[in-house]
Structure 1
Amino acid sequence: MDNITSNAGNLPNRIKKALITRFSLRMDQADDREIDRNIREGLELNGTYLWTLMCAILIASIGLNINSTAVIIGAMLISPLMGPIMGIGYGVGIYDFRLIHKALKNLAIATVISFITSALYFYITPLNSAQSELLARTSPTIWDLLIALFGGLAGIIGATRKEKSNVIPGVAIATALMPPICTAAYGFVHGNIGFVLGAFYLYLLNCIYIAVPSILIVWFIHPVARREINDKLRFRLRLFLFSTVFVSFVPSVFIAVNFVHNQVFDRNVSDFVSKELVFSKTFPIDYKSSYKNKTIDVVLVGRQLDENTIAEIENTLPKYGLAGTRLIFKQVGMHQEDINAIKTALAKDILADNQKEAEKKEQILQSLQANARSAEKKAREEKEKTYMNMAREIYIQYPEINEVLFADAYVSRQKDKNIDRIPAVVIISKHTLKKDTRTKIMKWLKFRLEEDRTKMIFINR
């Protein structure tokens, strides 16, 4: 009984010990000197680093230009920008100001080189439109901050382990350091200051929130390379760090709030249109909403709505969280531009449907052509194999035969207007073959070719 009571009393301690052991960062931690060496080597700005950097930035620029997610991921996989950022965090964590200066300088140089390389690409490329992958890097939010934060945490944990894994490439993909630089370069080339500011803010956000977890983890593991500084300098450093984190955090919150409001507004408008704009002889064919202007523009076709009906519809707006939103109806018959809008919308729908149908037929045609080519190649290979085997059998039975030619002959006869295609075999021998030998060969070839009309020609050289 005492043993049971003792075990029950020790159970919380055993669970606590098991959890501490399971989540401990000390278990597979690399040697302090190895961590220090790896991080310092990762921020070196040598020739290989710069060439890899330029290749990665060009790949990322092309991926954004053609809107290819796979290409952008490939660029981020080979991106070497993580090294200097983690070097900054490590330098702050061990209070090595010379290392911090070197990492900041190398990061600045790498950023400038990346920006110039991407700008040159966007200056010469004939593709000028901003695709969705590029536009996604112009308005960073708190979610981008969180991705960088947890990505940086995973990165520094992976960098301090004995066994190296694929953590660093994964962090490079998640935090996406390359695309914001490319987006800023695109905005610079096309004179869009909004793109430049938004993209550089995202890049700065990623850099800060990758470095911050590195600082915290280095403070936690307390490596031997950590230097001792006085309390006043330590306080100033931490105050600066906190201020930087806070200042960079605030704009992302406002952008995120605005983003959420936009999403909610669009969802409420969609619910409103689908439930309230339902009539027997009037149909909404298109609508546009603007959260910024608090407006909903609806194009209607059919019987025109009277003022009472419109007033009733407007009164339902608060029910969908759209109080204060202005509802603008454009009905056919009121203005010529309404008719033009309807024609344009219908033309777009028809064109899109036709294009989808054409693409589907093109895919089917390409598939049939590929199958036909494959079948033709297979038939040709089987025929060549049959001819080769037949020739070998002839050479074994009749050593005096030098060559055998197989072909399809197109035969025209004087009394027949049609053209017949029949197998033809040319036998070339050292001397004239006997009649019975030629007869045997003819019968054997017709049997093997399964064609009684086979034409055989005997030549001696």
Structure 2
Amino acid sequence: MPLNAIKNSIDKILDILPQTDEAGTIREINDKIPVRGNNTWMLICSAILASIGLDTGSGAVIIGAMLVSPLMSPILGVGLAVGINDREMMIDSLKNLSIAAIAGLFFSTLYFKITPLGEPTNELLARTTPTLLDVMVAFFGGVAGIISISRSDKSNAIPGVAIATALMPPLCTAGYGLALGRFDFFFGGFYLFFINAVFISLATFLIVKYLKFHTKTYINKETERRVARIMAVALFIVVSPSIYFLYNIYQGVQTRKKIENLIISDYTNRENEIIKWEVAQTDSINTIKIYSVGNKVDESVASHYNQVLEENDLPSYKVKLIQLDISPDEVREMASEVTNNITKDFLKTVEIQKMQQSRLDSLRRQSTVYTTANATSDLKLLYPNVTKLQIGEMLITNQQSKQDTVMVVMIDWEKPGRNTQNRAGRADAARIRENEQQIRRFLAAKLKKDSVQVVSSF
């Protein structure tokens, strides 16, 4: 029969049993489980490298940290131990995985305590919210890892698996959260690490069962039955949260798609350019914040969107429209000059001024005259940490007795960190210096002045 021929051909292509070295697989995983000696040094180096990569936003350094991380073996050991009914391996794997996780947290927290940087980068932010893709990467990475190790002719796939599953970076993200008291980063990073570990272990268990590894036998049959029950409970503990995590992540993806189809696409059709949109989650109401520029939108539009959400089984979501009173060209120009963190602060500032029902009419290009009074008002709105602001022209005579007019801006800022020698104080001072550069460029363009000097005090 043609169907039988096709089935036999597929079986031959997918069959990995003849290439499997059961004894060698168990020995190799078991030998690499303990966190001691070389593995300890590799773990420390991996944690510090991953922290540096996250702190500087360097993907290359993060990849290097993944390659030297020894976290994979204890996680594979958990899945293997459940699959072959080995109680001792199970206890050893969990113990060493716990030690490795605590050590990774400790050294990453220590690094972020002393680093002069410490601002949240894209690499850090990317590891605070697990997605369905993260789950799939962890699962298929675990499948590739155990298959690679089980081969009688060992392959070089393990480095690729280590990079794909990315165990150390989310653990170091949790360390960042501990160091700076940012528990959203701590729980988000540790949640991602836990999901990766669970699905790698689950994939290992399934492949071990598929390969029909022999389960461990005990002389005392009662002991064997007790161990089998313990392994069954352990499997349930591993599988249950993975189903829960997967369901929650799937629900989040579906909800986001629904919001995009119902709200975001319709709002874009109104010829408004959306700069950013996000969901701010609270206990009872989830606010969909849409930041945009373009045509003025009536407040009734938000009410209409709220009704649409309620009709589509999303009653706990409410829309908040935040329109920026600047042109799209100005938004793109400012976005190219500042980091993502400063952009976020800028959007928060605009939201505050919107709540106060104050509009930045003078920032529109429709304005024909832009005065120092306009500048003073706009800068105070854009930079809420300005306590006092003075703008005026100063006549300067150089050594050749030539006179020149310079626009001088005197700014008093809120006092930065209590000690400018510590990291928080230095970060505040650096932020003020960057704000000075932005203000200088902004006023030079708006007031059409060749020379603008900004003098700060705090």
Which category of TM-score, normalised to the shorter sequence, fits these structures? 0.5 to 0.7
Equivalent position to 2:77, from 87, 103, 106: 87
Tell me, yes or no, if structure 1 residue 23 matches structure 2 residue 14.
yes
Per-residue CA distance 1:96-136 (angstroms, 9 max, x = gap): 11111111111111111111111111000011211111112
Equivalent residues of 1:265, 1:322 under 8 A apart: no
- The answer as to 2:145 corresponding to 1:155 is yes
Query: Partner of 1:339 in structure 2?
Result: 361
Given the alignment of the two structures, is residue 111 of structure 1 paired with residue 101 of structure 2, yes or no?
A: yes
Which of residues 133, 147, 157 in structure 2 aligns to 1:143?
133
Structure 1 unmatched ranges of 5 or more? 1-8, 279-283, 356-461
In 2, are the aligned partners of 1:183 and 1:196 still within 8 Å (CA)? Answer: yes
5+ long unaligned stretches in structure 2: 281-285, 326-353, 365-377, 384-434, 443-458
Q: After TM superposition, give the deviation of residue 38 of structure 1 in Å.
A: 1.0
Q: Which has the larger radius of gyration?
A: 1
Of the three residues 187, 190, 193, the one matched with 2:180 is 190
What are the superposed Cα offsets for residues 165-191 of structure 1, whole Å, 9 maximum, x if unpaired?
222111111111001110110000111
State percent identity of aligned pairs: 32
Q: Specify the code of the residue in structure 2 equivalent to 1:23.
A: L
Is it true that 1:276 corresponds to 2:270 in the alignment? yes
| Count of matched residue pairs | 333
Q: How far does residue 319 in structure 1 lie from its aligned partner after superposition?
A: 8.0
How far residue 222 of structure 1 moved from its aligned partner, in angstroms, is: 3.1
CA change 1:122–1:341 in 2 (3 A) is: farther
Post-superposition CA distance 1:389-427 (Å, at most 9, x none): xxxxxxxxxxxxxxxxxxxxxxxxxxxxxxxxxxxxxxx
Q: Secondary structure at the match of 1:162?
A: coil
What TM-score, normalized to structure 2? 0.62
Q: Which moved more, 1:33-42 or 1:46-55?
A: 33-42
Q: Give the distance between the partners of 1:99 and 1:335, measured in 2 at CA.
A: 64
Distance 1:210 1:295 in 2: 36
Contact 2:278 2:288 in 1 (8 A): yes
Residue 155 of structure 2 corresponds to 165
Give me the TM-score of the superposition, normalised by structure 1.
0.62
Amino acid at match of 1:25: I
- SS of equivalent to 1:92: helix
Over aligned residue pairs, what C-alpha RMSD do you find? 3.8
Deviates more, 1:339-348 or 1:216-225: 339-348
Who is 2:4 aligned against?
13
Pairing partner for 2:232 from 219, 224, 238? 238
Letter of the 1:212 partner, please give it: L
* Aligned pairs for 1:56-455 within 5 A: 56-224=46-214, 226-227=216-217, 230=224, 234-235=228-229, 237-262=231-256, 264-266=258-260, 269-277=263-271, 290=279, 292-294=286-288, 296=290, 326=319, 328=321, 336-339=358-361
Confirm or deny: 8 A CA contact 2:85 2:231 kept in the other structure: no
Within 1, Cα distance between the matches of 2:299 and 2:271?
10
Give the counterpart letter for 2:20 in structure 1.
Q
Q: Is the 8 A contact 2:263 2:305 kept in 1?
A: no
> Relative to structure 1, is the Cα distance of residues 340 and 198 closer, same or farther in structure 2, using a 3 angstrom cutoff?
farther
**Whole-Å separation in 1 of the counterparts to 2:268 and 2:94:** 54
Task: Map Cα deviations across residues 178-234 of structure 1 (whole Å, 9 max, x no partner).
Answer: 011101100001112222122112111111111112122222323356336655653
Give the aligned residue type for 1:95. Answer: N
> Which amino acid is 1:185 matched to?
G
Contact 2:305–2:319 (8 Å) recurs in 1: no
Which residue does the alignment assign to 1:393?
none
Contact in 1 for aligned 2:78/2:89 (Cα 8 Å): yes
Q: Distance in 2 between matches of 1:329 and 1:125?
A: 36
Q: In the superposition, relative to structure 1, how do residues 158 and 318 fare at CA in structure 2: closer, same or farther (>3 Å)?
A: same
1-structure distance, mates of 2:304, 2:47:
53
Which aligned pairs between 1:37-48 and structure 2 lie closer than 5 A?
Answer: 37-48=27-38
One-letter amino acid of the counterpart of residue 106, structure 1: N
